[in-house]
Structure 1
């Protein structure tokens, strides 16, 4: 049989796809669970001693995971009816059985109340978690390092407060000028962990579009304007932006209230703190950010990081920077492989989000 042209539905394709979509929809899942509940009632009626009444509660457990908050209250109400009928059919009662039935009634009513309070989401718990994971992956995707010439090495590492999957720190990386430059941004959104994760997602998307579309000197002012327009209650963020010429090693560094970057000079083996001043993002209108201009010679390195790497309660930030540089120097004696991950694991506060970006020009 000759295939139909591309773009036209193949024979039987819609007939196959439709049942698959039905089985995974709220209606399909609810119908299957309702049939299971009905089967439990039949089993209790025919074999009351062999089918436990608690089996009628199992569909609700599955429904909590699979159904959206829009469909879940209706199915929970159906489960209440099933439990009532099962209680009538139950012939032998013990104290344990009575307590179990009461608990099932209470939990089912609680499910109805909680689900009605979450109706604005209209997604199932498992689907909602998968959406959050997808959003997190989109944040991380903004920081994927583009392909670079062999003489350049860029590594990034991120650790969130308390080991959470979401953090307020993130990276943005992109090439510009047809691959002759690389633009790198490290951002620290106010807050930490899950509380800052949603703001980080929105801001990372905006910054990912701005950094590649604007000249280096206009990026931070544009990001500042964006944050001011959002008018978040915790609407500020710090950021450091570096634009590196991959041919010469020359770079421009700008900071918005961010901890200073540090550069390691391979010739002397010394670390230099690079001061680039500027106000935090989202506080003041019409601000300008001064640039620190330098050059990465062969063998030199540059570290960009967030305050979680160097700040601890009751300790001066300068001491934290010194500790980080000392740890980096000690780790350099082993190898460059995975240095960013090892450094994030070695220093900083586990109670705060930590992010580190390492730029190294190989000798």
Structure 2
């Protein structure tokens, strides 16, 4: 359902910043951003995480947006910027329930949220806390960290997350009291984590009087050298802290700087610190005459030849380019937000670009081929799992690179090696490493994904297809078409649980009749299809011989291939079992086991939904049939016709309704509305709203009061539910219309001369949001022979199409109805929609016409 013409502050368009003031013409305030960023950083650091963020309400009911992302590059995680609160993901559940969720490892995540693991199939732990203040729900606080398999999240970290969410909620409530709009309509702001214990960069300087041999140091250099060194001192005191070779280099630099041309000289030397460690310093020397030394007083001599030296302690113990420029590898580094922070000399040559043109740029801009979905997936894997990732890249025709990603808390180092023969890198059975040329290449061998591993990047496609499957047969067909080819399987069987027995619901690829003995097997039988469900653990057998050794009494078919038995468990409830069969023996990598188990959870949820479908659909259909008017009032001088089409995706029925009410004061009330969602809940809410509108209308209330009363009733009945509505009161004698609308598309009018127009009605907020909302009245005239068309957005919305374009097409169709009888006109307007096989939303249409001869 789309909201139209709602009141209240809207998102700041095109600024790239969140709305922070609610002012229509003022710039957004940074207070909201700083508050969110500070809370996210604190939460991540307190629980020992490496990333996190905050999801915040967006201004669109039922939609959260990622407002702040800490420690991860935003563009690589674009699919997770938006989160609908009805999705089966932890962020949505936490926001809906107001309860925290803690997932210590991938096993727990698979059990509770298989969609999360299917979309991010990497080992990581995640903690979620609601951001609330009293009854006000703002969003969800998230922290990611390394997994702790089998070890639950400790109470201290649970409490830290809970406190973080509560403190952030109170801070946001304070911003609301100050007039700030606490909503996030934009893309997320990315925030860098603090560096993990890196020593600070320090600076120092000294002035060397070459005639006297005295050195005067500033405070910065004294701090670097330690308290045992005082200033001024003789040059020998300073050179005693250098290795002999570095001392010679310093003297040579002095002689060069004081030579005939006097050019500045830069040298890198190693300086012994007070802890005995070596600090790598850059020394820039420049000769000056008659210049007072740093820190010298007014009585400083200032005579003779002096040498000024500036030292920079980079704090790393090593200047990267010194070491990496000597390596026969192209090396670059990025920070946790994906910006290039270092490029060595060989990378410049390999890419044909200078360091200056690469440094500071996002990786996907510096290396555009990293924008490919496969390469983004590798980057996500490294950033989330913390494990090294190796893969083969094909940046341009005829060119291949082996890429190694080595992640750390503060960033990621990448090694690029040109490959002339990528085929040799394919793994071969029985070889110790994929295509290693010798001992010197063994550590750099590339794990190129083969056909099986490439299946790990199919779960999102399977999840999308499952979301569109309604019946158990459709779910099984999707699994056959998507899952089997992705993993190279040939056989599939799905069993569903009923009265403590498993019944065969779908099979393909098995010998005829082979599975019949297992149809109706009891839960106390020792067969793998039962044990995978009762234990909740997936069972993998690399060959039929291995399966036979484990279950010696189990009948086996003629195939010698592998078998995978997957438990179908949805939200802790057993649904059934899934069996995958393969023609040949094969192993199952840890990644494949993880993804297959997660996908089994998706299949279970789809099958559970399908099992509920028939019962729930029948209940919802009965509700809607009972609640929609079976006939409309017959009134002299006015004809009315209504049409309803259910959606074809998911539940068949939704919350659209129409009605025509004789008010008792000689008027007709024309009503059309759209309740959020589908199914029994939407149909029930629709019935309550329809009854409320009828009651208010029959009591003779004004249109604006009908809408106000219905709005307050919906808030009392179901906080969080919302609906749009358009209410038009028609005087059949005069044709006068008094109309109000609550976030609903305005009606169309077909005039007697055949022209059409979009009736401009003042808009109010959708019902169920604000109990103080008002609904202004618009007065207009319906001439004799004119037709008024009220409709829900399902009639004008198309995927990928702007709703205004849909309304324009409906206007053309309405104009083309000409002098058709009203019932025929209604059929023509919905004819195209009726022919569409995939209709995501239901449709309601109400036409009202004044007869041409009625004056």
Q: TM-score, normalised by structure 2?
A: 0.28
Structure 1: unaligned runs, 5 residues or longer: 1-75, 80-94, 116-124
Task: Go from structure 1 to structure 2 and tell me whether the alpha carbon gap of 1:289 and 1:104 turns closer, same or farther (over 3 Å shift).
Answer: same
Q: Distance in 2 between matches of 1:316 and 1:275?
A: 19
Select between 273-282 and 343-352 the one with higher mean Cα deviation: 343-352
The residue number in structure 1 matching 2:685 is 199
Task: Go from structure 1 to structure 2 and tell me whether the alpha carbon gap of 1:183 and 1:334 turns closer, same or farther (over 3 Å shift).
Answer: closer
- Does the CA-based 8 Å contact 1:278-1:288 persist in structure 2? yes
| 1:222 paired to 2:641 | no
- Does the CA-based 8 Å contact 2:667-2:730 persist in structure 1? yes
Deviation at 1:220, TM superposition (A): 0.4
SS in 2 for 1:185: strand
SS in 2 for 1:161: coil
Deviation at 1:362, TM superposition (A): 1.4
Quick one: which of 756, 761, 764 aligns to 1:271? 756
SS in 2 for 1:199: helix
Quick one: which of 719, 728, 733 aligns to 1:232? 719
Deviation at 1:114, TM superposition (A): 8.3
- Does the CA-based 8 Å contact 2:616-2:680 persist in structure 1? no
Q: Distance in 1 between matches of 2:777 and 2:803?
A: 22
Quick one: which of 521, 524, 539 aligns to 1:102? 521
The residue number in structure 2 matching 1:135 is 623
The residue number in structure 2 matching 1:86 is none
- Does the CA-based 8 Å contact 2:750-2:815 persist in structure 1? no
Q: Distance in 1 between matches of 2:740 and 2:815?
A: 25
- Does the CA-based 8 Å contact 1:174-1:182 persist in structure 2? yes
The residue number in structure 2 matching 1:291 is 777
**Structure in which a larger fraction of residues adopt helix:** 1
Task: Give per-residue Cα distances to partners, 1:90-143, cap 9 Å, x unaligned.
Answer: xxxxx998645636988xx99xx989xxxxxxxxx99987654442222213x7
Task: Give per-residue Cα distances to partners, 1:59-110, cap 9 Å, x unaligned.
Answer: xxxxxxxxxxxxxxxxx69x9xxxxxxxxxxxxxxx998645636988xx99
Task: Give per-residue Cα distances to partners, 1:255-281, cap 9 Å, x unaligned.
Answer: 111111111221x32112112211111
SS in 2 for 1:255: strand
Quick one: which of 740, 746, 753 aligns to 1:254? 740
The residue number in structure 1 matching 2:661 is 174
Alignment length (residue pairs): 260
The residue number in structure 2 matching 1:145 is 632
Deviation at 1:189, TM superposition (A): 0.7
SS in 2 for 1:190: strand
SS in 2 for 1:155: strand
Task: Go from structure 1 to structure 2 and tell me whether the alpha carbon gap of 1:205 and 1:337 turns closer, same or farther (over 3 Å shift).
Answer: closer
The residue number in structure 2 matching 1:23 is none
Q: Distance in 2 between matches of 1:132 and 1:192?
A: 9
- Does the CA-based 8 Å contact 2:703-2:739 persist in structure 1? no
- Does the CA-based 8 Å contact 1:183-1:212 persist in structure 2? no
Task: Give per-residue Cα distances to partners, 1:231-288, cap 9 Å, x unaligned.
Answer: 433x11110000001111111111111111111221x321121122111111122222
SS in 2 for 1:302: strand
The residue number in structure 2 matching 1:12 is none
Q: Distance in 2 between matches of 1:315 and 1:126?
A: 32
Q: Which has the higher contact order (CA 8 A, sep 6+)?
A: 1
Select between 160-169 and 298-307 the one with higher mean Cα deviation: 160-169
The residue number in structure 1 matching 2:789 is 303
> For residues 64-103 of structure 1, what are the structure 2 equivalents within 5 Å?
99=518, 102=521
SS in 2 for 1:337: helix
Q: Distance in 2 between matches of 1:154 and 1:273?
A: 19
The residue number in structure 2 matching 1:8 is none
Structure 2: unaligned runs, 5 residues or longer: 1-498, 502-513, 526-532, 535-572, 576-612
Q: Distance in 2 between matches of 1:318 and 1:132?
A: 31
Q: CA RMSD in A?
A: 3.6
Q: Distance in 1 between matches of 2:520 and 2:718?
A: 50
SS in 2 for 1:269: coil
Q: Distance in 2 between matches of 1:104 and 1:206?
A: 50
- Does the CA-based 8 Å contact 2:748-2:758 persist in structure 1? yes
Q: Distance in 2 between matches of 1:296 and 1:177?
A: 20
